[in-house]
Amino acid sequence: MNRVLIVGGSGFLGGHLIERLYLLEDRPEIHVLDIRPPPAPSSKFYSYTLEDVTFHQGDLTSPESIKAVLETVRPEVVIHCASPVHGMGKEIYFKVNVDGTKNVVDCVAESGFVKALVYTSTASVIYDGSDLRNADETFPIPEVAMDAYNETKVLGEKYVLESNGKNGVVTCAIRPSGLFGPGDRQLVPGMLAVLKTNGTIFQLGDNLNLFDFTYIGNVAHAHVLAAQCLLDEKKVESVAGEPFFITNDTPVYFFTMPRTIWAHKGYVPRFTIKMSRPVGMTLAYLSEWYSWLMGREALFTRFRVAFTCANRYFNISKAKNCLDYKPIVGLEEGVLKTLEWIDDEDAKAAAALVDEKEKKDQ
């Protein structure tokens, strides 16, 4: 790989993709296409600096914008990891995850110089609310998705994989589960937020359900392995046109994760109030109904209840065999890295407030 373009490279996964590419012995030129520049990486958690990355402002919902960046960079590999976060409206998901992905795929196929495209999908593409035990890539995609996010990721992945081989461009999809790590603004911060609301005493379900949480650096590692395999004449046949589940290969009981995080923060709940799945689903239905009446996106949803209470762990043998993938950061090490990053961010925010107050006082 001489040049790699990361579409959505300024986001959570993007920073870790840059890091994995930067650490390669044969380091490629690293380019980022996004609507905003990548944030400055902390030397505590990343080896690269912004000087090691070339940023190109662009919009994946505009084919002209994508084509202009492609012509400027002329990459061999494109990694498409752009996606809105959970909790946004259906319209934005379709605009980015479906229309935007089609634009990326079509522009890459028309370029004449891009050889491979790696797409960031999600393990939830096969999730319908029921248990997934040791699920692998042979499991079917449900006819009806649980929510707009998953519906659009299914459509995006389908278009990417069906476009494999178009004008000589080989493609594959990475399906990660339960992402967390430095840069995480959702999963671990959400679990920490529960400390502030005294919500640690509540438990949805019986906590006998196993769940796959995945450190973000491992997911970035899998993307780079996939790109390398797509360019390898000996490996491309087993990877092109294929999806791959990626996890830490260490499923845990769901509430083990937040309780581990709380324990590292010095907090252990004295007692637990258990709420059954049916009760949770009823309350979530009422939440969705109320949010619909108010014209806003529901935060407590039936999908989230099902997600929390279901067994949801995956067999990653295919990634091990085809990509030579194995996790490079363990689960607890990943938790410690994430908490250290959050503490570092909190310290920076506190220092910024002090500076602002001092300036006002002057």
What span, in angstroms and rounded, lies between the C-alpha atoms of 159 and 175? 15
CB atoms within 10 A of CB 64: 11
What span, in angstroms and rounded, lies between the C-alpha atoms of 287 and 290? 5
What span, in angstroms and rounded, lies between the C-alpha atoms of 261 and 271? 17
Four-residue CA torsion sign, 48, 320, 126, 330: negative
What would the two tokens of residue 271 be?
């007692």
**Phi, psi torsion values for 312, nearest 5 degrees:** -155, 75
What span, in angstroms and rounded, lies between the C-alpha atoms of 341 and 183? 8
Specify the 3-state DSSP secondary structure of 154. helix
One DSSP character per residue, 52-72 reads GSEEEE--TT-HHHHHHHHHH
| Catalytic position from the list 153, 166, 326, 359 | 153
Rg, the chain, Cα only: 21
What span, in angstroms and rounded, lies between the C-alpha atoms of 267 and 274? 19
Burial pattern 2-29, b for ≥16 Cβ within 10 A else e, equals ebbbbbbbbbbbbbbbbbbbbeeeeebb
Does residue 102 have an active-site annotation? no
Give me the amino acid identity at 88: M
Contacts of 92 (CB under 8 A, 6+ apart): 84
Q: Which residues are catalytic?
A: 153
